[in-house]
Amino acid sequence: MSKPDASISDSYLVYPGIVPLSWGVCHLRMIVKEQGTLLIASEIRHNPGPSVTNAIEGIWTTIIENAPDGFLGENPLLVEHYNDEAVYGETGLGERLALVRMQKGQTGWRHTNPAEIAAMAGCAPEDLAIPLDRLIIEKVPGGLA
């Protein structure tokens, strides 16, 4: 039996907010391949806390602190993802993807497209497609929505 080319898992990640004792929730897709791990943090509708953009450092810290040793590989890629239909209910605006780089206390984003991210991660572009129903959360348990 051959080993699968990629392991894809979806979950929701609770991350710390900017204000003490606040928190947010995002959808997290992890694509684990032999050459590395791709993490896609997607904004969800009715996120009770700061946006993925405003809390990306807390998201990254939460991922690092909870990943088993060696799980992420040497150079994991973190991608910020917004689907305007899911988040704002507006159709036709599409999706926005940005590679996130955190170096020496500075965070930078570079907007890109699914084909480029798929090529960097060694996966298929369709692996990056997050189903809309996973991004539309009408009420987060314990949240304000």
Residue 14 pLDDT:
95
The whole model's pTM is what? 0.88
d(CA 25, CA 39): 15
Burial class (CB in 10 A: 0-12, 13-18, 19+), 112: middle
Q: What is the pLDDT tens value at each position of the chain, 145 positions in all?
A: 334 567 899 999 999 988 888 899 999 999 998 778 999 999 999 999 999 999 999 999 999 999 888 788 888 999 999 999 998 888 887 899 999 998 877 899 999 999 999 999 889 999 999 999 999 987 655 544 4
Q: In sequence order, what are the residues at sequence separation of 6 or more whose Cβ sits closer than 8 angstroms to the Cβ of residue 109? A: 53, 80, 98, 99, 100, 101
* 63 close to 13: Cβ distance less than 8 angstroms: yes
DSSP 90-128: --SS-EEEEEEEEETTEEEEEEE-HHHHHHHHTS-GGGG
